[in-house]
């Protein structure tokens, strides 16, 4: 097992990474304060991993809340089911909410923990690659609004993150690829040598090679922990973790939540950010193509949805959380491994990126 630490003073916490950790009741129990525990999970993950987690929590009084599965359920209505479960079983302020599932469950359970009786103990047990490398770390919690992705939520750090890498064995290949989008992101924003490692190990990662996956997860969590420790509430460097997300969130909202997976939208969105960085003269064509090739190798889309016009993008991007005083800001690259948050770009460059022919770019790449 590897243990990393998110360095946030009294709100700091460990990230445990290893195979079979669901059975390590001692690790979870160390972060539970009272007897009561509420496990929030969904109808897909519950039959796979709920029993193992419950066994680890023997001796506690456990309430289980099983939510419907899917991004389209990351809503107020579903959140209410968590509060129904907590109040129905008379959970008090000493309770611990445990999120068992992917990023949707983690974001919703964390948001519920942040507001139940004004805040209770919270533990993340992420079971998708995406949640293990990104969403379970850093304390962003929340739900979607029909007009914008993740628009309602809270910063609320967990007491611990428990990553059992064995859970990836049951993850559908499409979901694994979606997680790889966020892994590639870390290389692009702050760690060029990691891109070289990913190029060499992408096949192993997609074949669920345990050593490669553990390395990628630990490397990603360490990068995220560093950024979060430097800027917990996103007043600066943390925004760079959103490379490709402004374009990507527009895709998710426009297509309908769950139609494009979050990681898929981030991949196509990052291809757009690479395109814009090249148009600004900040990266070379070869660097853009290197990034695009990695997304292709990971099995991810590199062409935005055909049915989205530049106007569609502009409309949805105006609701992004990086918009300040009505001004759009984008995470772009000044080089591979060097992200920046840019607000002062010529509008015609953004328009060119929004109307670029990505299918043609892909065809050129293949030649
Ligand atoms: P998800 O939670 O929808 O999980 C993907 C699918 O895999 C679901 O059907 C789920 O039930 C299933 N699943 C989960 N674990 C499984 C397992 N071990 N075996 C088989 N199936 C399993 O999606 P996700 O990609 O994990 O997370 C995406 C969400 O995370 C989005 O809502 C996104 O906005 C959010 N997110 C949040 C942050 C953050 O910092 N809070 C960061 C990135 C993404
Ligand atoms: N996924 C972006 C962040 O946690 O800041």
For ligand 2, say whether the CB of 140 is within 6 Å of any of its atoms. Answer: yes
**CA of 134 relative to ligand 1 center, distance in Å:** 10
Q: Is 231 annotated as a binding residue?
A: no
For ligand 1, say whether the CB of 135 is within 6 Å of any of its atoms. Answer: yes
**CA of 61 relative to ligand 2 center, distance in Å:** 33
For residues 138-151, give the mean pLDDT. Answer: 95
Read off the pLDDT of residues 285-327 as tens digits, 9 standing for 90 and up.
999 999 999 999 999 999 999 999 999 999 999 887 777 777 8
Q: Is 245 annotated as a binding residue?
A: yes
For residues 200-205, give the mean pLDDT. Answer: 98
For residues 35-58, give the mean pLDDT. Answer: 97
For ligand 1, say whether the CB of 234 is within 6 Å of any of its atoms. Answer: no
pTM above 0.85?
A: yes
Can you give the pLDDT at residue 57? 96
**CA of 62 relative to ligand 1 center, distance in Å:** 23
Which atom of ligand 2 is found nearest the CA of 241? 2
Q: Is 9 annotated as a binding residue?
A: no
CATH of domain 2-170: 3.40.50.1970
What residues does each domain of the chain span?
A: 2-170, 173-366
Can you give the pLDDT at residue 324? 78
Read off the pLDDT of residues 85-144 as tens digits, 9 standing for 90 and up.
999 999 999 999 999 999 999 999 999 999 999 999 999 999 999 999 999 999 999 999
For residues 165-169, give the mean pLDDT. Answer: 98
Q: Is 128 annotated as a binding residue?
A: yes
For residues 270-275, give the mean pLDDT. Answer: 98
Q: Residue whose CA is closest, atom 2 of ligand 1?
A: 102
* φ, ψ of residue 37 in degrees (nearest 5): -135, 135
- Reply yes or no on whether the pLDDT at 366 is more than 80: no
- Does 1.20.1090.10 match the CATH number of domain 173-366? yes
Write out the catalytic residue numbers.
Answer: 118, 140, 182, 224, 234, 238, 242, 245, 249, 262
Ligand number, closest to the Cα atom of 230: 2
Can you give the pLDDT at residue 320? 75
**CA of 44 relative to ligand 1 center, distance in Å:** 11
Q: Is 140 annotated as a binding residue?
A: yes
Ligand number, closest to the Cα atom of 235: 2
Q: Among candidates 95, 88, 110, 118, which has minimal Cα distance to 40?
A: 110
For residues 25-51, give the mean pLDDT. Answer: 97
The three-state (H, E, C) secondary structure of the chain, written as one string: CEEEEECCHHHCEEEEEECCHHHCHHHHHCCCCCCEEEEEEECCCHHHHHHHHHHHCCCCEEEEEEECCCHHHCCHHHHHHHHHHHHHCCCCCCCEEEEEECHHHHHHHHHHHHHHHHCCEEEEEECCHHHHHHHCCCCEEEEEECCEEEEEEEECCCCEEEEEHHHHHHCCHHHHHHHHHHHHHHHHHHCHHHHHHHHHHHHHHHCCCHHHHHHHHHHHHHHHHHHHHHCCCCCCHHHHHHCCHHHHHHHHHHHCECCECHHHHHHHHHHHHHHHHHHCCCCCHHHHHHHHHHHHHCCCCCCCCCCCCHHHHHHHHCCCCCCECCECCEEEEEECCEEEEECCCCHHHHHHHHCCCHHHHHHHHHC
Mean of all residue pLDDT scores within the chain:
96
Which atom of ligand 1 is found nearest the CA of 252? 34
Read off the pLDDT of residues 49-83 as tens digits, 9 standing for 90 and up.
999 999 999 999 999 999 999 999 999 999 999 99
**CA of 88 relative to ligand 2 center, distance in Å:** 33
Which atom of ligand 2 is found nearest the CA of 137? 4
Rounded to 5°, angle at Cα 106 from 103 and 107: 85
């Amino acid at each position: 097992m590897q243990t990393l630490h998110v360095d946030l003073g009294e709100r700091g916490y460990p990230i445990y990474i290893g195979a079979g950790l669901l059975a390590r009741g001692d690790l979870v129990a160390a972060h539970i304060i009272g007897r009561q525990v509420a496990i929030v999970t969904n109808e897909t993950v519950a039959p796979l991993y709920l029993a193992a987690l419950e066994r680890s929590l023997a001796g506690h009084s456990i309430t289980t809340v099983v939510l419907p599965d899917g991004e389209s359920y990351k809503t107020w209505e579903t959140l209410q089911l968590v509060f129904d479960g907590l109040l129905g079983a008379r959970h008090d302020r000493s309770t611990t909410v445990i999120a068992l599932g992917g990023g949707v469950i983690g974001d919703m359970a964390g948001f519920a923990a942040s507001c139940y009786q004004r805040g209770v103990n919270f533990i993340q047990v992420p079971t998708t690659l995406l949640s293990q490398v990104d969403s379970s770390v850093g304390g962003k919690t929340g739900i979607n609004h029909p007009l914008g992705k993740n628009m309602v939520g809270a910063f609320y750090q967990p007491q611990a993150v428990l990553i059992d890498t064995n859970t990836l064995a049951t993850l559908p290949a499409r979901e694994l690829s979606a997680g790889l989008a966020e892994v590639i992101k870390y290389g692009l924003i702050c760690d060029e040598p990691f891109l070289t490692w990913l190029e060499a190990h992408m096949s192993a990662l997609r074949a669920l090679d345990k050593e490669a996956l553990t390395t990628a997860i630990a490397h990603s969590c360490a990068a995220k922990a560093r950024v979060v420790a430097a800027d917990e509430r996103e007043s600066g460097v943390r925004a760079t973790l959103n490379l490709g997300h402004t374009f990507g969130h527009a895709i998710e909202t426009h297509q309908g939540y769950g139609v494009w997976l979050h990681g898929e939208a981030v991949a196509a969105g990052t291809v757009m950010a690479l395109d814009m960085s090249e148009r600004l003269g900040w990266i070379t064509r070869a660097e853009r193509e290197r990034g695009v090739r990695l997304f292709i190798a990971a099995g991810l889309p590199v062409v935005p949805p055909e049915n989205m016009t530049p106007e569609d993008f502009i409309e949805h991007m105006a609701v992004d959380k990086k918009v300040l005083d009505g001004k759009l800001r984008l995470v772009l690259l000044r080089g591979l491994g060097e992200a920046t948050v840019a607000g002062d770009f010529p509008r015609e460059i953004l328009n060119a990126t929004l109307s670029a022919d990505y299918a043609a770019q892909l065809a050129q790449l293949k030649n």
